[in-house]
A and B are shown apart, each in its own frame.
Chain A
């Protein structure tokens, strides 16, 4: 279990990649995990069906921040159709650590948020800059 906070996870947490807002995003979505108070806003700049630019902002635990950092690296330059196919296991592979069920939501918040952003703004349609909070259904 000491493997959870590996150096590269902490490195992504301290200096996340793709952190910040991007110019003229084609899709924006704010995802939240009310259980732990994590909040992430994902912005995508999609051109010709390819995620050319991506940025995220927000606060959360090391696992959710590292996962957003790794995921944004992963999807940058990828065709949208491939991004929509990403599954929870892909994110866990990117993280490369054992995630307990209690922390699964932290690990997958970034993917959920990206997928909501895409669903809200399908390629070739949808309003740019549509921001909506993802209200998760869970409570303690």
Chain B
């Protein structure tokens, strides 16, 4: 199969958004059409990227071109559009696999999001490998997406869950982890970067500890792939799940990477077309990986968009992305306590151990009210429990407000947040 070139960034092209080895976030902003809109008469200050990211023109155009120029089902049509569609879909797989340095693009399965990727493992690998009394080790900081599927699994299979606790600063207690591994868990599953506190967990060290104890490791990379360089080989993970929509790609795109021998030994997740080689009335032979796990017509345009997003981010350079967001984080952690009296900040203080996520509270003011007032000024932050209810319970917080960054975030956004928070205080303390 020849891979024809579809819209995107040419290899080696230098983007105007990277200058002198650093990101020019203002130039990047211009590449995101939605960010030039106004909200309630103000410029958009989008600080909810941990929830979902905005999309650059390169991604929007790749999706648009798919529908305008070559929409057809994949792996079926023996005609021009069908071939182009199949090529673009498989080329996107190569692009995304390369983005996380997967050794083999056939180890990359397209899913709707990180949640589906984790559920795929819980259902397919989990049902075959978790039995009575088998333990799975998770952490107190997991997103519900990396908690509930395991609860369902161990309830069904009569297994056990154990949890690595956190320090008050939001770091994992590796001393306790070491002890938990003595129960010989079958699986350790944890988030690479916390969506609530920003904590960047020491993945390599934790993977090595798990492997030494005979456990496999699933990493929830939903908050890592968009923000830090991810190399699944050097991390040593067995399963790595992430969402496309948080990494500048369309809603409804995501992926699971896993080592080939694991995927080959796993039973299928969903049954239907595309995932079979031969179907008889009473039994079927399943397709090779990755298609074995991609039953039915996939979200082709969204996968093509995910490929374009990976290409776009590769063009920026994930080291640059990380440096940019660490700078913003350091700036935010510096100005917020100085300029917003009484603000409470949570999460690790060391910016080297933390992604661009800033959870906070204003004493005496509910985060919903904070978010609602900020919205008047065109500022979008998340308020609530961010799908980490057990973590909030652990920190004895009913809810928090959260500002989070992406490549298009700027210091101006943080300055706007500071000004907005002072307005909130004026209204509520007035």
Contact = CB atoms under 8 A, between A and B. Distances in A.
A36 B427 contact: no
Given A10-B427, A139-B144, A61 B384 contact: no
A39 interface: yes
B368 A61 contact: yes
B366 A62 contact: yes
Interface centre among A1, A4, A38, A62 (most CB of B within 10 A): A62
B39 to A, nearest CB: 11
Interface stretch (B117-125, B234-242, B348-356, B385-393): B385-393
Chain A, interface SS category: loop
B366 A60 contact: yes
A34 interface: yes
B373 to A, nearest CB: 7
Interface in B402-430: 427-428, 430
Interface string B25-43: 0000000000000001000
B383 A36 contact: yes
A89 interface: no
Interface string B344-376: 000000000000000000000111110011001
A37 interface: yes
A4 B375 CA distance: 12
Given A10-B427, A10-B428, A35-B384, A103 B376 contact: no
B368 A106 contact: yes
A67 to B, nearest CB: 13
B368 A103 contact: yes
Interface centre among B40, B144, B366, B385 (most CB of A within 10 A): B366
Interface residues of B, number: 23
A35 B427 CA distance: 24
A5 interface: yes
Given A61-B366, A62-B369, A1 B427 contact: no
Contact of B372 (A4, A34, A38, A39): A4
Nearest to B370: A61
Nearest to B383: A36
Given A1-B40, A5-B369, A62-B369, A39 B428 contact: no
Interface residues of A, number: 21
B373 A140 contact: no
Contacts of B430: 10
Nearest to B373: A5
Interface string A32-74: 0011111100000000000000000001111100000000000
A37 B376 CA distance: 23
Contacts of B367: 36, 61
A59 B398 CA distance: 9
B399 interface: yes
Contacts of B144: 139-140
B167 to A, nearest CB: 22
Contact of A37 (B40, B372, B384, B428): B384
A37 B368 CA distance: 10
Contacts of B366: 36, 38, 59-62
Contacts of A139: 144
Interface of B: 40, 144, 365-369, 372-373, 376, 383-387, 389, 392, 397-399, 427-428, 430
12 contacts: A1-B40, A5-B373, A5-B428, A10-B430, A13-B428, A36-B368, A36-B383, A36-B385, A37-B384, A38-B398, A59-B366, A140-B384
Question: Which 5 residue pairs of A and B lie closest in terms of their CB atoms, listed nearest first?
Answer: A37-B398, A61-B366, A37-B399, A61-B368, A62-B369
